[in-house]
Amino acid sequence: MIIDICNILKKNRIGSLLIFLIIICYQPLHGQADKKYIRQGNRVYEKNKFSESEILYRKATDKNKNTPDAVFNIGDALYKQNKFEDAGKQFIENANMNEDKSKKSAALFNLGNSLLKANKVQESIDAYKSSLKVFPDNPEAKYNLAYAQDLMKKQEEQKQQQQDKENQDKNKDQNKKDQKKDQNNENKDQQKNDKQNQDKQQQQDQQQEMSKDDAQRLLNSLANEEKNVQQKVKLAKAAKEKVRTVKNW
């Protein structure tokens, strides 16, 4: 069954007036709902109940998706809960929604803080620069930008020092390997020299042994010759004596 609202309005002026008022008031009441949740969220936020405030801010966005204040506050609540990456997403969304330069700059500033807490230093520097580009008179953004740049410089120095240390350790290890290799080569050369000296000594010993043998043989030979000579002399003497004793009768 299709209800004809026009006929009902004609028949009942009082009813038409109530319906008209409902239609007129509905939109403002709907628009006020998101602000109510924002106010409630702010109250619990001030009591450091950040998780509860996040829920209320999200209810505000459920009522009105185009409320940048609720989006910004969700980011703040997440930041207080150390959910820095999620907070950063909210601040990016808020910055894209906001036409007000001071609020846009504040969103980018908080984005920088979230990135800095997430140890994304270079990204935080870019966010602070974007904040100052929108609103150059933001002293907090200037201070945090300088801080982040100084931190970036220190990190780069530490990284370079670490790299230098690693290179030094690597060079030390290589030097140790080279020294060990040289030592091994020296040991091999020494062993080779020792063997050569040992072989040479053995040759000398052998030659000396041979010389002793030769000398002994020579002495033996001389002794034999002397013995033979003596024997010959004895024989000759005996023969001579024998000749002298023989008489010729």
Question: What CATH number has the domain bearing residue 39?
Answer: 1.25.40.10
d(C-alpha 186, C-alpha 21), whole Å: 106
What is the predicted pLDDT for the residue at 95? 97
Asked if residue 147 is part of any domain, the answer here is: yes
Residue 98's domain spans which residues?
A: 5-155
Number of domains in the chain: 1
DSSP label of 87: H
Asked if residue 165 is part of any domain, the answer here is: no
From 61-65, 166-170, 175-179, the region with the lowest mean pLDDT:
175-179
Which residue would you say has higher pLDDT here, 107 or 233? 107
Asked if residue 143 is part of any domain, the answer here is: yes
**In the chain, which ranges are continuous DSSP H helix?**
5-11, 13-46, 50-63, 68-80, 84-97, 101-117, 121-134, 139-245
Helix 101-117 vs helix 68-80: crossing angle, to nearest 10: 20
Provide the 3-class DSSP secondary structure of residue 249. Answer: coil
What is the predicted pLDDT for the residue at 113? 98
pLDDT-derived band at 160 (thresholds 50, 70, 90) equals very high
From 131-140, 155-164, 239-248, the region with the lowest mean pLDDT:
239-248
pLDDT at 125 over 50: yes
What is the predicted pLDDT for the residue at 14? 46
Asked if residue 203 is part of any domain, the answer here is: no
Asked if residue 29 is part of any domain, the answer here is: yes
pLDDT at 47 over 90: yes
Asked if residue 71 is part of any domain, the answer here is: yes
Asked if residue 173 is part of any domain, the answer here is: no
Query: For 60-89, how does the pLDDT look when each residue is reduced to its tens digit (9 = 90+)?
Result: 999 998 899 999 999 999 999 999 999 999
Asked if residue 57 is part of any domain, the answer here is: yes
